[in-house]
Structure 1
Amino acid sequence: MDQGFSRGSGMGNFKRNVLATAIFSANLLSVAGISANAYAAETTDEQNNQGASTLGTVIVTGTRAQERTASASLSPIDVISGDSLRSSGSSELGTVLARLIPSINFPRPSLVDGAELTRPAQLRGLSPDQVLVLVNGKRRHTSAFVNLGGAVGRGSAPADLNAIPLSAIDHIEVLRDGASARYGSDAIAGVINIILKSADHGGSISSKYGQYKKGDGIQRQVSGNTGFALGDNGTLNHSGEGANNDYTNRAGDDLRASSIGSTTYGQQVFRQGEPETHEGKLQYNAEYSFNDAAEFYSFGGYSKRRGETAAFYRPSNASNNIAAIYPNGYLPLIHGTLEDTTFVTGLRGELADGWHYDLSANYGKNSYELRTKTINTSLGLNTPRSFDNGTLTNDQKQLSLDLSREFNATWLPYPVSVAFGAEYLRQGYQIEAGQAESYFQTGSSGLGGFRAADAGSYSRHNFAQYLDVETNLTEKLGVSAAVRHEDYSDFGSNVSGSLSARYDFTPQVALRGSVSTGFRAPSLAQQNFTFTSSQLIGSTIQEAGTFPAGSNVAQLLGAEDLKPEKSRNYSLGLVLQPLDSLTVTADVYRIDIQDRISLSSNLVLNNTAINYLRANGVGDINYTSARYFTNATDTSTDGVDLVANYRYQFD
């Protein structure tokens, strides 16, 4: 959906831009829903004097053509300016995108065992790990932690959008179409491409302070950006951001006597809301041109986020409490430290024969260290009050070569854009065990530690090749086709393809459509993640074990080895521009996904089941229920993206 902000050239000219958007979607795994959103904003030319209207922005996502604009795209694409992001009032990128693009949802789960610190986004109602995140067109790594509990995208390990400061972003392109044929695994729902600032001068600094009406959740933030010239042919743009956010609590007064069922009315003991966080982010983007044939570029960033979340409250007489230590019960606290690092460097340019090349190396790493303030009842009065629960690490290394050129074919009226390339991707995942007391017998209550037996390092690699062709067959008909082959060391090979077309009946009326196939290999986290945490099952709090499908526990409980997800994406859209200032688009889509990966339901373990597991080689069992990753179901998602974009200038 087009974002709806225009940019002007005259200082002081006031513009009012109105965007009205509706989105309809249905999913086999959820109740069909309808939401309508109207968004109005006021901007000045001073705020928006950095470029043209987003509708006229030359896009780089979902196309290899060099001069394709958002308004002429063969597939639905949204372009959001950096000024619009920063003027939204929020410091969270996912929150801002959800406000400006109704097809994006930014869930804010609570009581999900530390997953609150990772901030993914959903596109068209699909799982957060079914949308691919790019930065300057390069694949961004995913998070190390897996969404658990009641989190949306249960069992997913998506990219963390909030690791990038808003002050570093020039604009964002959101492709609402299957794009696995162009970008590979994960791009089932579409692509979010974050384009960084590259200005060689100027800068900004801003600060924010606020709190909720309830009086909690105080937010403090300061951010800055500046650009420098590197000699006569280079630029360096860098940004920084720091923020401290207090937690919010929307839990009601609870019982703090002998049990949850007690009639004694007391103080608020649960915590339901946003976590307390302290974070810092750094980002840079550099370019240096040696000549037309060679331009060096590099960008990267580092972020660190510390946060505190809570598990379920333990009443005084609960089995997972020691009344001699906590006579009034206690609330286990989970402390997470999330570190994210990325570094990309490359060389690009145009050769004498018209070929454009881009050779790049990409490194990304995400780590999550977990600590808890709780007890281990198995240790009695000798239990520690705080635990090191272990660390998760996810990393990727990628080498890419992209080549493109326009050809003039005698049998075609317009040039043909041809692009092809190859990629090598290595992904790694590591589980570091916590201290022994964190997993001894019942383990640390609220969040068990990673066992020494579960610790390990895992890796895989993938070779990919792609071909992309785009042209106009007539003055009114544009077409595009892409095919991609991937060969994973753990899941074998796959071929994805896509076809797109657009026909302009008149300058005011156009029809566009696409069909594509997609592919998503199970992440290394989904294949190896083992975890124990508190879950509310029925009316009782139980320790739930989470296991990979290939583990001994999961296999004994009926799990099968994971298979890749495969998809088919169909889209048909109408583009209307009855006035120069009014654009209306309606895109109908259907996304069929086979073998969607999720977590199974919690399987409560009685004594018979526990004895069966122990008899088949399972050691200490510090959980009363179990769940595992599985190819849960096939789904179909149908929806309509309806966008009306009207711009009017007040002199």
Structure 2
Amino acid sequence: MTNMKSLLVTASTLAVAATFLPASAQESDEAGSNELRQGQVVVTGTRTANRTALETAVPVDVFPVDELTETGRVELNQILSTTVPSFNFNQTAINDGTDIIRPATLRGLSPDQTLVLVNGKRRHSSSLVNINGSVGRGSAAVDLNSIPTAAIGSVQVLRDGASAQYGSDAIAGVINVILREDDHGGGLNVRYGANVSDPEGLNRSEIDGQTTTIGGWTGFGLGDNGFLTVSGEYSLRQASNRAGLDPRQQFPDDPAYAEVERNFPRLNHRYGNGRAENVSFFVNSGYTLDNGVELYAFGGVQDREGESPGFYRRAQDSRNVPEIYPAGFLPVIGGDVTDYSLGGGFRGVAGGWDYDVSAVYGSNELDYSVNNSLNASIGPTSQTSFNAGALAFDQVTVNADFVKTFDNLLPGETSLAFGAEYRDETFEITAGEPASYIQGPLPAAAGSQVFPGFTPESAVDEGRDAASIYGEVEWVPNDQTLISAAVRYEDYSDFGDAVTGKIAGRYDFTDQVAVRGAISTGFRAPSLQQQYFTAVSTNFIDGVPFEIGTFPATSPAAVALGGGQLDAEESTSYSLGFVLTPTNDWFVTIDAYQINIDDRIFLTENLGGPEVEAVLAAAGVTGVQRVRFFQNGIETESKGVDIVTKYAFDFGNLGTLDASAAFNYSKTEVTHVPDNTVIPSLPLFSRDNTLTLEESAPETKFILAGNYTYQQADFVLRATRFGDVIDPSNVAANDFTLDAKWILDASVNFNVTDKFSVGVGADNLLDEYPTMTPDDQSFNGIFPYSSRSPFGFSGRFVYARASYNW
């Protein structure tokens, strides 16, 4: 810890500058120079107009789309992971639906503890609840990758608790995606790239993961007082594979199989990014009436087809039917995700009060299919493709917000805000076709291999509503002082109510030095997915398949084992920071934070054994060997510091250079895990999952970036250092550390004309890979890299791009 303190002091002393670029696409287009801009207005974390990013009482970062798209990364989660130092995104593999809807984390907390807004309005979550061993196990989070970069004007990241302002989920912070607002012009971008890599330790070269992205936008004027911006994007990513060769015996121990065993292609698994194809379409519009009232509407739709390969079933595997697959088979989970939203409202001024009334509808549906598979219990007549059912989540949110600034209410300037929100949510599970889940006439595994379909007993159609009211005040008694406070009351139809509050302040000692800080309470309501998800599936534990039932917390099985109605998670957050502006071109922000969370919701271990079977039998639960369910009770403490900085150099005729640095230190400690009061010998939450909460994100992350512009050329170099990560086990001796790594991204872009440009680049230019998994934990060497790697394990990605703007 002493070394860490020294590192923080050194980083604070050497930090060069923090700046934030314009919030709208129009501003970005107009500000063509490389000068630092400090006057951009933020709309996240404050309801007072004309507050800039460097004037707020809490840290807010603003990233224009030009900065977000400097690399070859196309998914918003990937982009933010190399832009926001406390934002992390893991590459999952062989993880069912989590490979198709992939979660991300902010400040090392759960994916569902970050609130996502679009145009300042709450975004709906995905229908998927992550129930396997990935980071974010047990969460149902917003799918940020459903928002294409072609539609984005900027992203604002509030790095502070904000439940009192926005309601549930805003424990780690808020990500606000601002859509483009253009009434003219447009752009078309084409990008193609692939992984060109020599995977460490695999003794082979790979060219895979070919990715094509075509995106564009155009703006239209609506009379003299309005705009309509239309955006579209298509992307196709082919699969990548970093699996090792399978050394296991594939066929029965019989001389008749000797030759086919000898010639068997050993690269039979697929371990890496699955194939994914996205089609997206977004609109954003506004129109101001003659009376000053502005009408606005926005929305979008994305259709995604993704794949998640499973474990290879060998020819001699009891789950194989040799008449169908003589050499075995690799089953693949398919996911068709349909995500759409539509929002609109009106805002204006009445009686001196600014008002904003809106309604937003959002929906996310995941339809499962299973391909190249079979139902072993049916035998040789089994089909090989299955409809395995679907998950769906819908949300309607209605808001009314009012704000007014007074010059004589208190000394100085006082802004009052209040409002109300109503939200209605539904969650559905639809059963798959019978062949995907039935037990056939043969004594073999039931259902489609790799992912049994949802049964009629698992079907769910549940809903709830929530209503809330809030009030806020911002007081500026003089030019040096800002004090704000907020309180919110929220009532849910299922679990109850919650009251949260926040106090924040800022004091400017001089024009160059300011201190800011906040204290807040927060909460996260249990999601419908966590309350009602039901499924029975086959999971591998130490290589042995088990039928595992995931049941609602209030189901007979869960109640018999100590479960019950879920309650809200509760948090208390503290932050303290400094804003330094030594010159107009030099900014530094340093913000420390602590977040304490009680009653965190978790997915229990797979509880099994004679004692569990006896309890389940007494409760009338049959057909499963192990049971898991959601429960409250974990307590955590997270501490950290963020340093964000940027400096602009002007070399005259030799060009300009924007140099930036960003640093995050974060550490989460699990301070309490609830005991199993029914069967004390069985832990509800294992060492493995405890360490996942504590060690899944790098303790330190450092981002250095430079953008040099000379005449018609732009050169971008970005280096990201991901700190150590532990891949944990329930046996301490099997923990292993993924060493810290520097990932270097580089690109060059040439402006051939004022409208047309071309460029080339490489992400992970040096082809770095995470520390290889120890031989005894890599499934016979088949999975050589850990999915806990914070930068993935696909290696170098080389790309070319072209753009045309008008």
Which AA in structure 2 matches 1:646? Y
User: How much does 1:292 deviate?
Assistant: 4.7
2:443 aligns with none
Q: 1:321, CA displacement in angstroms?
A: 2.2
Out of 414, 422, 434, the residue aligned to residue 432 of structure 2 is 434
Report the AA paired with residue 417 of structure 1.
S
AA aligned to 1:568 is: T
Question: What's the counterpart of residue 211 of structure 1?
Answer: 194
- Whether the aligned pair in 2 keeps the contact of 1:466 and 1:483 (CA below 8 Å) is yes
The 5 Å alignment of 1:228-627 reads 228-255=220-247, 257-258=249-250, 267-351=266-350, 353-373=351-371, 374-409=373-408, 411-412=410-411, 414-441=412-439, 442-605=446-609, 609-610=612-613, 613-614=616-617, 616-619=619-622, 621=623, 623-627=624-628
Task: Please say if residues 37 and 102 of structure 1, whose CA atoms lie closer than 8 Å, have aligned partners that are also in contact.
Answer: no
3-state SS in 2 of match to 1:84: helix
**Deviation (angstroms), 1:69:** 0.2
Change over 3 Å in CA distance of 1:212–1:174 after alignment to 2: same
Aligned to 1:16: none
Distance of 1:55 and 1:307 partners within structure 2? 41
Describe the superposition over 1:398-418 as per-residue Cα deviations: whole angstroms up to 9, x where unpaired.
111111110122541x21111
Partner residue in 1 for 2:219: 227
Change (3 A) 1:37 1:300: farther
Q: Secondary structure of the equivalent of 2:379?
A: helix
> Are the equivalent residues in 2 in contact too, given 1:314–1:331 (CA < 8 A)?
yes
State the distance in 2 between where 1:348 and 1:533 align. 49
What is the aligned partner in structure 2 of residue 638 from structure 1? 639
Q: Is the 8 A contact 2:387 2:453 kept in 1?
A: yes
1:4 match: none
Q: Distance in 2 between matches of 1:539 and 1:382?
A: 28
Distance of aligned partners of 1:338 and 1:476 in 2 relative to their CA distance in 1, 3 Å threshold: same
Q: Which residue of 2 aligns with 1:194?
A: 177
Shift of 1:507: 1.1
Distance change >3 Å, CA 466–CA 627, structure 1 → 2: same
Aligned partner of 2:360: which letter?
Answer: N
Q: TM-score, normalised by structure 2?
A: 0.73
In the TM superposition, residue 37 of structure 1 has moved relative to its aligned partner by 12
- 1:102 alignment counterpart: 85
Equivalents in 2 of 1:409, 1:526: separation in Å? 49
Partner Cα separation in structure 1 for residue 16 and residue 548 of structure 2: 42
Q: CA deviation at 1:505?
A: 0.8
Partner Cα separation in structure 2 for residue 586 and residue 433 of structure 1: 51
TM score, norm. by length of structure 1: 0.89
Specify the code of the residue in structure 2 equivalent to 1:617: G
Query: How many Å apart are 1:536 and its aligned residue?
Result: 3.1
Per-residue deviation at 1:329?
2.2
Higher mean alpha-carbon deviation, 143-152 vs 194-203, is at 143-152
Where 2:456 maps in the other structure, the secondary structure is coil
In the alignment, which residue of structure 2 is the partner of 1:29?
A: none
Q: What is the alpha-carbon distance in structure 1 between the residues aligned to residue 497 and residue 55 of structure 2? A: 34
Shift of 1:609: 4.4
For structure 2, the residue ranges without an aligned partner over 5 or more in a row are 9-13, 197-205, 440-445, 653-806
The Cα offsets for residues 70-116 of structure 1, whole Å up to 9 and x where unpaired, read as 01111011100111112232111111111111111122211111211
User: In structure 1, what residue type is equivalent to 2:340?
Assistant: T
Aligned length: 613
Report how far residue 508 of structure 1 moved: 1.2
Contact conserved, 1:605 with 1:626, CA < 8 A, in 2? no
For 2:650, the equivalent position in structure 1 comes to: 649
- Aligned partner letter, 2:309: A
Change (3 A) 1:37 1:132: farther
In structure 2, which of residues 18, 29, 36 is the aligned counterpart of residue 49 of structure 1?
Answer: 29
Q: Can you list the C-alpha shifts for 1:127-169, whole angstroms capped at 9, x where unaligned? A: 1100000000000000001113222110111001111121111
User: How far 1:48 moved relative to its partner?
Assistant: 4.5
Query: In the alignment, what sits opposite 1:134?
Result: 117
Gaps of 5+ in 1: 1-21, 26-35
CA shift at 1:303, angstroms? 0.4
What is the match of residue 158 of structure 1?
141
Amino acid at match of 1:58: V
Q: Could you say what secondary structure the match of 1:402 adopts?
A: strand
CA distance in 1, matches of 2:169, 2:409: 38
Give the match's secondary structure for 1:149: coil
Contact 1:55/1:69 (<8 A) preserved: yes
One-letter identity of the residue aligned with 1:637: S
Q: Do 2:127 and 2:140's aligned partners in 1 also have CA atoms closer than 8 Å?
A: yes
| CA-CA distance at 1:583 after TM superposition | 1.4
Q: What is the deviation of 1:618? A: 2.4
Task: Give the C-alpha shift of residue 54 in structure 1.
Answer: 5.4
Structure 1 CA distance for aligned equivalents of residues 37 and 462 of structure 2: 43
The equivalent of 1:93 in structure 2 is 76
Q: Which deviates the most, 387-396 or 376-385?
A: 376-385
Change (3 A) 1:198 1:62: same
| Distance in 2 (alpha carbons) for counterparts of 1:69 and 1:600 | 44
- Specify whether residues 92 and 446 from structure 1 end up closer, same or farther in structure 2 by C-alpha distance, changes over 3 A only: same
Match of 1:14 in 2: none
Is this contact kept in 2: 1:517–1:569, CA < 8 A? yes
Q: State how far apart, in whole Å, the 1-side matches of 2:52 and 2:138 are.
A: 37
Residues 312 and 534, structure 1, Cα contact 8 Å, conserved in 2: no
Query: Over aligned residues, Cα RMSD in angstroms?
Result: 2.8
Distance 1:187 1:614, change over 3 A: same
Cα displacement (A) at 1:419? 0.8
Q: Residue 478 of structure 2 aligns to a residue in which SS?
A: coil
In structure 2, relative to structure 1, the CA distance for the partners of 1:244 and 1:315 (3 Å cut) is: same
CA shift for structure 1 position 580: 2.2
Percentage of identical aligned residues:
44
- Say whether the 8 Å CA contact 1:417–1:471 is kept in structure 2: yes
SS of the residue 1:56 aligns to = coil
User: How many angstroms apart in 2 are the aligned matches of 1:546 and 1:248?
Assistant: 31
Partners in 1 of 2:416 and 2:491 — Cα distance? 23
Task: Report the residue type matching 1:114 in the other structure.
Answer: G
- Output the amino acid matched with 2:361: Y
CA distance in 2 between counterparts of 1:95 and 1:524 reads 27
Q: Which range moves more in the overlay, 468-477 or 354-363? A: 468-477
Shift of residue 605, structure 1, vs aligned partner: 4.6
Decide whether aligned partners of structure 1 residues 135 and 579 sit closer, same or farther in structure 2, where only a CA change above 3 A counts: same
Q: Secondary structure at the match of 1:357?
A: strand
